[in-house]
Amino acid sequence: MHSGLIIVDKPPGLTSHDVVARLRRLTGTRKVGHAGTLDPMATGVLVIGINKATRLLTYIVGTAKTYRATIRLGASTLTDDAEGGITGSTTTAQVTDAAIIAGIAALTGEIRQVPSSVSAIKVKGERAYARVRAGEEVVLAARPVTVHSFELNATRRLTGENPAGEGSEVIDLDVTVECSSGTYIRALARDLGAGLGVGGHLTALRRTRVGPYELGQAKTLEQLEQEADGDGSVQILDIADAARALMPVRELTDTEASELSFGRRIARSTDGSHSVERPAAAFRPDGELVALLADAESHAQPVLVFTPDLGA
């Protein structure tokens, strides 16, 4: 198994770690990781790194993501999604379409968001969700995130489904959200409902894009298992192709590639724009990925050096 990425269409009911475990068995290597957790309820794009491509995952985690989601207005839950018990409910009969649009607009752009208390964020060395499950009240600090777009695709007004009482009304909103890394869609659902005074939570979530990797590239676990059963191998996105899609590209001469293979500096790029946080993917003339490069004052230095892939 060579190095590269597998774009998985994660099914509901599995954790991201479950998917990693399945891929370890299918690929026959322990060097497997993922770029950004999806909750068990969520489906869609989960980027899996194999062998040396696990070193790219740090750069993939920080990319923008796109989601399709359904938000239910009229009820709040312990987890801000449908998996948690209802903590409060209110009829939404008084909520107008104009108010919904205004509420969405208020949550678009650069905002400060309090993550869900059952997120995977660590509090004093322990995951927040573990503390909540143990009965502890957890309130996380607000953090800056960017909601690039928050589009309302459909509105459905339903009656008789709200625990507030017979004949009460809830509103289901189908939305598409493009956001920065670290944004919690269920927190958007919670905050939209809170702003409208009726509560809200997430009932469905599907991630359709992580950085340059889209749902159209993804395969289900069943499809990957069929590939492995067919010829004993799983098709992957080669590490060179994955890096070209993800990062700025620098084409090297043979001499530069040789220098970098020994960890030496070379001349910096013409615009000097490559940083440790956003390095350039440097390629030999034959297309092989050699290193990730960051520019300094007068030179470029390797952030990571990739040795030739001989099957691991």
Q: Which of 9, 39, 80, 81 is catalytic?
A: 39
Report d(CA 36, CA 179) in Å as an integer: 13
Phi-psi domain of 266 (left: phi exceeds 0; alpha: psi -120 through 50; beta: other): beta
Report d(CA 255, CA 306) in Å as an integer: 16
Report d(CA 269, CA 252) in Å as an integer: 10
Active site residue 238: no
300 strand-pairing partners = 266, 295
Report d(CA 58, CA 274) in Å as an integer: 16
Q: Give the catalytic positions in this structure.
A: 39
